[in-house]
A and B are shown apart, each in its own frame.
Chain A
Amino acid sequence: MSKVIKFLQGNEACVEGALMAGMRFYSGYPITPSTEIAELSSEKLPKVGGKFIQMEDEIAGIAAAIGASLTGKKAMTATSGPGFSLKQENIGYATIAEIPLVVVNVQRGGPSTGLPTSPGQGDVMQAKWGTHGDHPVICLTPDSVKETFDLTIRAFNLAEKYRTPVILLTDEITGHMREKIEIPDVSELEIYNRIVPEAGDDYKAYHVDDGDIVPKMAPFGGGFRYHVTGLMHDETGFPSNSTQNADVLIKRLMGKIEDNKEDIITYEAYETEDAEYLILSYGGTARTAKAAVKKLRAEGIKVGLFRLITVWPFPEEQVRALSEQVKDILVAELNFGQIKLEVERVVKGNANVRLCGKANGEILTPEELIKAFKEVL
Chain B
Amino acid sequence: MSDQLELRLSGSGGQGLITAGIILAEAAIRDQKNAIQTQSYGPEARGGASKAEVIISNEAIDFPKVTIPNMTFALTQVAANKYISDVSKDGTVIVDDSIELPEGIVAKHIYKLPIIEAARNDVGKEIVANIIALGVIVELTKIVTKESLEAAIMARIPKGTETLNQMALQKGYELANQSK
Chain A residues whose C-beta falls within 8 Å of the C-beta of B36 in the assembled complex? 177-179
User: Is A176 within 8 A of B39, CB to CB?
Assistant: yes
User: Is A177 within 8 A of B37, CB to CB?
Assistant: yes
- CB of A7 within 8 Å of the partner chain: yes
Interface string of B10-53 (1 = CB under 8 A from A): 00000000000010011001000011111111110000000000
- CB of A275 within 8 Å of the partner chain: no
User: Is A177 within 8 A of B38, CB to CB?
Assistant: yes
- CB of A68 within 8 Å of the partner chain: no
Q: Is the interface of B mostly helix, strand, loop or mixed?
A: mixed
Chain A residues whose C-beta falls within 8 Å of the C-beta of B39 in the assembled complex? 176
Cα–Cα distance between A173 and B64 once the two chains are bound (Å)? 8
Determine how close the nearest CB of chain A comes to the CB of B80; give it in whole angstroms: 21
Q: Is the interface of A mostly helix, strand, loop or mixed?
A: mixed
Cα–Cα distance between A366 and B39 once the two chains are bound (Å)? 19
- CB of A290 within 8 Å of the partner chain: yes
- CB of A291 within 8 Å of the partner chain: yes
User: Is A178 within 8 A of B67, CB to CB?
Assistant: no
User: Is A294 within 8 A of B62, CB to CB?
Assistant: yes
Determine how close the nearest CB of chain B comes to the CB of A363; give it in whole angstroms: 6
- CB of A180 within 8 Å of the partner chain: yes
Cα–Cα distance between A366 and B65 once the two chains are bound (Å)? 10
User: Is A365 within 8 A of B25, CB to CB?
Assistant: no
Determine how close the nearest CB of chain A comes to the CB of B60; give it in whole angstroms: 9
User: Is B64 within 8 A of A32, CB to CB?
Assistant: no
Which chain B residue shows the least CB distance to A289? B62
Which listed residue (B26, B41, B67) contacts A117, Cβ 8 A? B41
Cα–Cα distance between A118 and B43 once the two chains are bound (Å)? 10
Evaluate whether A290 and B40 lie within 8 angstroms (CB atoms) in the complex, with A7-B29, A178-B22 already known: no
User: Is B35 within 8 A of A287, CB to CB?
Assistant: no
Interface string of A18-36 (1 = CB under 8 A from B): 0000000000000010000
Interface string of A345-376 (1 = CB under 8 A from B): 00000000000000000010111000000000
Residues of A within 8 A of B (CB): 5, 7, 32, 116-118, 173, 176-180, 284, 287-288, 290-291, 294, 363, 365-367
Q: Which 3 pairs from chain A and chain B are nearest by CB?
A: A291-B62, A291-B63, A178-B37
A–B pairs, 29, beta carbons within 8 Å: A7-B22, A7-B25, A7-B26, A7-B29, A7-B37, A117-B40, A117-B43, A173-B64, A176-B38, A177-B38, A178-B22, A178-B37, A178-B38, A179-B35, A179-B37, A284-B64, A287-B62, A287-B63, A287-B64, A288-B63, A291-B62, A291-B63, A363-B65, A365-B63, A365-B65, A365-B67, A366-B62, A366-B63, A367-B67
